[in-house]
Amino acid sequence: MAGLQSAVLIECSDELKKHMDKLNTFCRLCHKVISKPYNKLSFAREILTLFGINVEGEPKEIFPLYFCHTCARHLYRYRSGTDISSLQTLQSIKLKVYLPHSKDCVICFINEPSAKGRPKKRKLKHVNNENQDSIDHECDISENMSQDWGLTDEGEITVNFGNANQTTDVMLLLKHIQHVISSSSKEQHEDFFSKFLDLLPTDSLSVLCECLGRKQKQSISRDADSFFLMYKDMEAMSSFDIFDWLKKRDQSVTAYLLGLAGCDVNALEKNPRDALIVSRAVEHIYYLCSRNFISPVSFLANLTSYAMTGSKVVVDIFGNASPSGHYKTVTNWLKDQGSKPVQLPSNDLMNVFDNEQVVGKTYSIKPSNKVPVSVITNKGFLELNMHSIGKTLQNELSLKPEVKLDLQGHNVMTNKSSSEGKSENDKEVKLRGVINCMIDQVSELYVKMEIDHNEQLYHFIDHAIEVVLAEQQDKDGHFEDPIDLKVRQDIVEENYIKCAACGTLNSKRKQKCTGCDEREGIKKAKLDQKNTKPDPKKKEKIPKLVFIHDEDQSKVSTVTTEFTQYDHITTNHKGKHELVLTDPVYCNPNSIKSVALVLRKIGQENGIHRYGGNKRHWTFVCCDGLPYLIIKKLKEEALVCAITGCHETFLSRDLYEKHCEQIHQGSEKQFMHEFDWMYLRIGAGHYEMNLVKSFFELNWTPFLETLCEIMGFCTDSSKQFAKSCKDHHKSWRLLLIFHLSSLQELVLPYVRNCLSTRCPPTAKGFLTSGIEKYSYGNYQNFKYMLDQVCKFSQGIVNFRMATRRNNADLLKSSKYMTKELFHGRNHPKYQKIELYDTIQDRMMPDNVRELNDLYASITTSGNPSAGEDLDFVLEEKNKQLKAWIPKGMPTDIIWQTVCRNNRALEKIKNHSLSLFGIQSTKYVSRPLGIEDAITAYRTCLRRSNYLDKEKDHTSISGMALDEGLVNFVHEATKKRIVMLRTEFLGEIFEEQSTFKHPLPITPSEREKLQSFGNMTIKQIQKEIHKMLNKIPDPFQFDYHNYIYEQEVETKGKTKLLNFLEELKRVMETLDTEFEDQIRYNFDGYACQHIKSYNIW
């Protein structure tokens, strides 16, 4: 009885399986025969939207699993939104009602309609239960078994089964094997098949394997077609799981490969590498069965290789060797990724923009040939969170920024009420107080900034003392270190050679030894010196201040011991943040018109009230130097006509005045400032780059040229490369080498003195002794280097550390301590930026300043020592975008596509790298390895005795420097004060133009700056009048004055200079009793210019 029940169950299960196999040959939507199946789960979202059917919950015993090629094509077009007709076609489909399997099942017994004549046999493709090979094979087994397949006019299948002969020996054997297998356990199966395969000879085993391959080919092809479009789904690719994908593949294939690998399914989940290997084998087997198949695993690998290399050859190599698609497939995939514009949140935001470009190539030569360039302005936003307040600030009108931050002229407003007038007066009083405070520099704020700077300076001095102290060795009452030994060794190697025979030191010019009076010893020594390479010596390990360098602006995923030098600085990072890109603007932000276009786009996206939005009254905008100054001008000059019914915009006040004269004659002028809704912010990355450039420009002749020569920058072009800081990473290394080595040499005399007096050296003690030597006046080299190291290079290092740790107080301190670098030399752009940025910070409302300081920098990795400002974060985003752009000139659509999908594309790339077990190199930190460079530069300083030279101020190479350079800080501060008084307070100085000249570094530069050729036309005219008035002879005076007024005064600078030189020669030929006095008055011009620097 039990055997009968099991037989019935087997028969029922066989019928249900046949029913499901036949059911899956029909399309779920149109119920037509499938030639190429597509998994219905791939379009579950679209089916739910169109028909209200949740295909994910449909039982597979009742409903088909696949769509036909036609329906899948219409669904894909509907998803991408490219064809309206596809939507209409899908809506016109009438769905068939499917019922569970029964004895009278329509699906299982679809009969062919009656027709005259003999029915035709038609070969069906992609039938689930058997292909042509299997049909032929079964015909060989039993000639009495027959299957007639046919198609109705509607494309439906009809099948007629004949009565099979169940009496043949083969069929009895097969039935018996089937019964044995169904009634045994899995372990018994494995034992049976193992023994059975052992009985088979090699030839039979190969035939069996070939039959298995032919048998499974159709099944594998159908499975491959079921996820053929999976690689086009960006969401599926970004969350693709290899193990889950493997579990859904053909069980016979995965089981065979697991047997080869010697593991089971559970082991794959624990070992991702094995899962990856098995998945690669599975996809290649599928590739054999379906040559158009694209596997998600290989496609991810090829997509990542495209993003990392951008090489068409590499992508095509992968495409030829794996089911990953070729270069055209990858680029078309990128172009087909449609998306919607990013919606900005309602929180407070900080915006940033910068330009990006792709420069094309031209291989032909033709008239008016131009290099093709595609330029955009990329922009993004950072979502801010004011933790301490817990509310948004940018929707408060009272917190809007000031339009003008100077007192030149007046802020014209019409219809100004008494309350508005009082508010304007209060703001003017506050602004004047802020500027006067910047001039005096004696408030508590500036004292705190100096304290913050000195804390870090003490930290570095203590480290330098620790290094130098560990090197000292007592040699009979005096101290030496490895640097002294290296200096002596270098001198000996450069000037002497030791005889190989007797060991006597001889001058390198000697041909015969002075000790043994032989030539062979000198000859052999020179030969040995030429062929022998010095053995590397192991250096004694001493505490080192390690700085981390990496090519992507210190993007580090985890905090390691290499970042211990930042631990003493308070970090204000609150987790990691993400900069979100918005749609680009197709212009280059280098003009007033293009920058205004970018700002209007930002204002519209941010929902600024000025542009009809209702989310914000103001926001933050971050950019680099050139757009910063353009925006500053736009804030002051760009106007909107406020006369009723007009609302026209103007980019300058002059254009508005012309508009009023032409359109609104006789009407009272009414206007609004168009761009009064933003707080400007200079990108800290660009600010640091310009600080380094200004430091190199100032100290190139005194120190850095010699340093660069030691580091291998020997040719003129390489020196110019280093001086202009073309590579910021190399410039940063050179700055650290200079700072650390110079600081160690500065503390050396103090440390040795403390060792002699048995007094513990401290940073405070060094500064005290350094100030005494500084004020003595004879050590000009020591005085100047102490200023450059303890104030400027330390300030730049503080700037980098403050940015990394998001410490706004230290960041402001470093800006304050390095401000003279911009004002002492010729850096007009960043002179204005430094002053405007400082004034704006002091004029901000307290809660706005708190919000701005909270995001002085951000970390995108979560590392509290890897902060960057938004300008450098956007630079990194721009690199990511260019990696995804196909070769050639990108169109606006391509730019928009990669910008909108940036987050998803990077997620796919990172997920792919994780799947393949690759650690991204941008998260790998490396020590700089500058110890040898520090030793080499210290050796140079020690050998030249640079810091102990008295009186004259010279460079390391011995070049004379300008006598006023040693007072650079004092003179640069004066120039900054003059700029504050003239540019922001509106005061006028008679000798104002001379303060725009850079402070000279060498005497020759001073002569050039003070020559007549560098004077303005007004200065030359003024000098001519002075010289004319000094002519004692009335006849000579009338003659030269007449020539000047008639032929020279209005004829340009060249004629003025020639007349001045001629007048000078005439005066030299006058009577000798007047000559001394005239010469004294004439030479007084230079004295007046020098005295003008001391007006305070």
pLDDT for 746: 94
Can you tell me the distance from the alpha carbon of 205 to that of 199, in angstroms, rounded to the nearest whole number? 9
Structure confidence by residue, pLDDT tens digits, 675-705? 999 999 999 999 999 999 999 999 999 999 9
Structure confidence by residue, pLDDT tens digits, 525-544? 888 777 765 555 444 444 44
Can you tell me the distance from the alpha carbon of 49 to that of 51, in angstroms, rounded to the nearest whole number? 6
Residue 472: other Cβ atoms inside 10 A: 16
313, burial (CB in 10 Å: exposed 0-12, middle 13-18, buried 19+): exposed
Does residue 123 lie in a domain region? no
pLDDT for 535: 52
Does residue 514 lie in a domain region? yes
State how many domains the chain has.
5
* Domain extent at residue 657: 642-673
877, burial (CB in 10 Å: exposed 0-12, middle 13-18, buried 19+): buried
Edge-to-edge strands, sheet with 373-383: 580-581, 373-383, 349-359, 619-623, 678-682
Under DSSP, is residue 714 helix (H, G, I), strand (E, B) or coil?
coil
> Residue type for 230, please?
M
- pTM for this entry: 0.77
> Residue type for 599, please?
L
User: Tokens in use for 806?
Assistant: 């998001």
User: Tokens in use for 394?
Assistant: 């940018």
Helix (H) or strand (E) holding 380: strand 373-383
Q: Residue 178 above 90 pLDDT?
A: no
Residue for token pair 């052999």: 524
Structure confidence by residue, pLDDT tens digits, 268-326? 888 888 889 999 999 999 999 888 889 999 999 999 999 988 899 999 999 999 999 99
Name the region of 588 (left: φ>0; alpha: ψ -120 to 50; beta: rest).
Answer: beta
Q: Do 700 and 723 meet the contact criterion of CB atoms below 8 Å apart? A: yes
Residue 756: other Cβ atoms inside 10 A: 12
pLDDT band at 971 (very low <50, low <70, confident <90, very high): very high
Of 67, 83, 109, which residue is a domain's last?
Answer: 109
Nearest to 1089 by CA among 982, 1012, 1001: 1012
Structure confidence by residue, pLDDT tens digits, 739-789? 999 999 999 999 999 999 989 999 999 998 877 776 666 889 999 999 999
Q: What percent of the chain has pLDDT over 70?
A: 84
For the segment 826-835, the average pLDDT, to the nearest whole number, is 93
pLDDT for 557: 34
pLDDT for 1075: 45
Q: Do 788 and 799 meet the contact criterion of CB atoms below 8 Å apart? A: no
Report the Cα–Cα distance between both ends of the chain, in Å, rounded.
119
pLDDT band at 420 (very low <50, low <70, confident <90, very high): low
Q: Are residues 82 and 196 in the same domain?
A: no
> Residue type for 241, please?
D
Q: What percent of the chain has pLDDT over 90?
A: 38
Does residue 937 lie in a domain region? no
pLDDT for 128: 41
Can you tell me the distance from the alpha carbon of 390 to that of 39, in angstroms, rounded to the nearest whole number? 49
DSSP per-residue letters across 629-697:
HHHHHHHHH-EEE-STTT--EESSHHHHHHHHHHHSTTSPP-EEETT-SEEEEE-HHHHHHHHHHHHHH
Q: Residue 1079 above 60 pLDDT?
A: no
904, burial (CB in 10 Å: exposed 0-12, middle 13-18, buried 19+): middle
Residues 816, 821, 827, CA angle at the centre, nearest 5°? 115
pLDDT for 49: 83
Does residue 146 lie in a domain region? no
Instruction: Give, in order, the Cα–Cα distances in Å from 548 to each of 540, 629, 925.
Output: 21, 33, 6
pLDDT for 584: 94
Q: Residue 713 above 90 pLDDT?
A: yes
Q: Residue 112 above 60 pLDDT?
A: no
Q: Residue 3 above 70 pLDDT?
A: no
Q: Are residues 189 and 289 in the same domain?
A: yes
pLDDT for 545: 47
Does residue 40 lie in a domain region? yes
Can you tell me the distance from the alpha carbon of 135 to that of 363, in angstroms, rounded to the nearest whole number? 61
Q: Are residues 192 and 315 in the same domain?
A: yes
For the segment 1087-1091, the average pLDDT, to the nearest whole number, is 34
pLDDT for 378: 94
Q: b vs e for 197-229, b when ≥16 Cβ sit within 10 Å of the residue's Cβ?
A: eeeeeeeeeeeeeeeeeeebbbbbbbbbbbbbb
pLDDT for 799: 96
Q: Do 675 and 634 meet the contact criterion of CB atoms below 8 Å apart? A: yes
Residues 6+ apart with CB under 8 A from 833: 625, 628, 629, 682, 687
Does residue 1061 lie in a domain region? yes
Structure confidence by residue, pLDDT tens digits, 387-416? 656 678 999 999 999 888 877 764 444 445
Q: Are residues 199 and 309 in the same domain?
A: yes
User: Tokens in use for 35?
Assistant: 């030639």
Under DSSP, is residue 354 helix (H, G, I), strand (E, B) or coil?
strand
Of 498, 531, 564, which residue is a domain's last?
Answer: 531
Q: Do 810 and 801 meet the contact criterion of CB atoms below 8 Å apart? A: yes
Of 629, 658, 673, which residue is a domain's last?
Answer: 673
Does residue 364 lie in a domain region? no
Nearest to 253 by CA among 271, 225, 280: 280
Q: Do 358 and 885 meet the contact criterion of CB atoms below 8 Å apart? A: yes
Under DSSP, is residue 879 helix (H, G, I), strand (E, B) or coil?
helix
Does residue 431 lie in a domain region? no
Residue 270: other Cβ atoms inside 10 A: 10
Structure confidence by residue, pLDDT tens digits, 996-1038? 788 999 999 888 887 766 677 777 778 788 888 877 777 777 7
pLDDT for 490: 86
For the segment 894-919, the average pLDDT, to the nearest whole number, is 89
Structure confidence by residue, pLDDT tens digits, 239-278? 899 989 988 888 889 988 988 888 888 888 888 888 899 9
What is the chain's mean pLDDT, rounded?
82
What is residue 535's DSSP assignment?
Answer: P
For the segment 940-963, the average pLDDT, to the nearest whole number, is 91
Residues 6+ apart with CB under 8 A from 173: none
Q: Are residues 92 and 202 in the same domain?
A: no
618, burial (CB in 10 Å: exposed 0-12, middle 13-18, buried 19+): buried
Task: Tell whether the torsion through CA atoms of 1020, 1021, 1024 and 1029 is positive or negative.
Answer: negative
User: CB under 8 Å, gap of 24 or more: what pairs does 528-534 form?
Assistant: 528/500, 529/497
Q: Do 1082 and 1067 meet the contact criterion of CB atoms below 8 Å apart? A: yes
Can you tell me the distance from the alpha carbon of 596 to that of 602, in angstroms, rounded to the nearest whole number? 10
